[in-house]
Amino acid sequence: MKELALMWSVSLVLLLPLIIFAFRLLVFKNSSVGHFLFISYPVMQMQRGESMITFHGLTNLFPDMLNNFMVGVSVYLSGSDSLPWNSVPGYGAVFPPVLLLSLIGLFNNKSNLSGELLTFKNIVRVAFISYIPSLFIVTSTLNHWNFLNILLILLAGFGLHDLYTSLSPRVFTIIFFTLIAVFSIFVSQHYFNNDSYFVKEWGNGHKYYQTMSKKETKELQKDNIEKWAKHPINQ
């Protein structure tokens, strides 16, 4: 308990500037330079506040939070947040069938792991649970929930290990290579065709942009520095 109390105290001191900054930006809609006691916080563009859900008063607070969470769940189950630069539609940040492995890794307590790996698995579980509250207030896109992606992938690894130790080698091999085959077919169909977002938006970029010489690059950098000096962002 003493170690936990020390950790909480240190974390509060380290996170206090970020908490004040986020509260000021999101609640008071103030993005200018400001000071609070010994803390100074910088300018931030207001559009970054769009990473949080829009609050429609206390009456709609919990419905808005619940709706954001449910939309996020549907994003992961469908594998798309309608933003093709975030992920391949249908694949998502984590391939939807792999989410089953994440659930196994999260809830299965019967695993043949060493003491160190079991400790690490429990840490990942705690991290997953502690991240859940933010899923209600952070807008549900795959890049806004990026820390969740890391946890889901780690849990999927533990789930795959649990299957490996509980199933017969033949059944496990069939499941394993089926996942790889489905993934390979899906990615091949999406990437290797002219309708892909990446082909349309990026593949033809060389037609519109020309490589600058070293002299042109230096002149552009000098021009940008002079503009910034005249009109700094904090002014």
Q: Is the distance from CB of 135 to CB of 145 less than 8 angstroms?
A: yes
**CA–CA distance, 192 with 182 (Å, rounded to integer):** 15
Q: How confident is the model at residue 17 (pLDDT cuts 50, 70, 90)?
A: confident
Res. 183: pLDDT tops 90: no
* pLDDT given for residue 127 in this prediction: 92
pTM value is 0.66
Listed in sequence order, the residues at least 6 apart from 199 whose beta carbon sits closer than 8 Å to its beta carbon are 193
- Helix axis angle, 146-166 to 169-191, nearest 10°: 150
Q: Give the pLDDT confidence score for residue 165 in this predicted structure.
A: 87
Residue-level pLDDT at 215:
75
Q: 79-129: per-residue pLDDT in tens?
A: 888 877 777 777 778 888 888 999 998 888 876 788 888 899 999 999 999
Indicate whether 208 pLDDT > 50: no
Whether residue 59 has pLDDT greater than 90: no
Residue range 217-230, pLDDT digits in tens = 677 667 666 665 55
Residue type at 109 in one-letter notation? N
The DSSP result for 43-60, as a single string, is: ---GGGGGGBPPP-TTTT
Please tell me which residue, 232 or 105, carries the higher pLDDT value: 105
Q: Which residue has the higher pLDDT, 55 or 2?
A: 2
List C-alpha distances in Å: 200 to 67, 85, 171. 33, 12, 41
**Residue, of 30 and 174, whose pLDDT is higher:** 174
Percent of the chain at pLDDT > 70 equals 72
pLDDT at position 23 over 70: yes
What confidence category does residue 205 fall into, taking pLDDT thresholds of 50, 70 and 90? very low
Q: pLDDT at position 235, please?
A: 41
* Banded model confidence at residue 9, pLDDT cuts 50, 70, 90: very high
pLDDT at 206 over 70: no
Confidence of residue 199 (pLDDT cuts 50, 70, 90): low
* Strand bridging mode 34-36 / 39-41: antiparallel
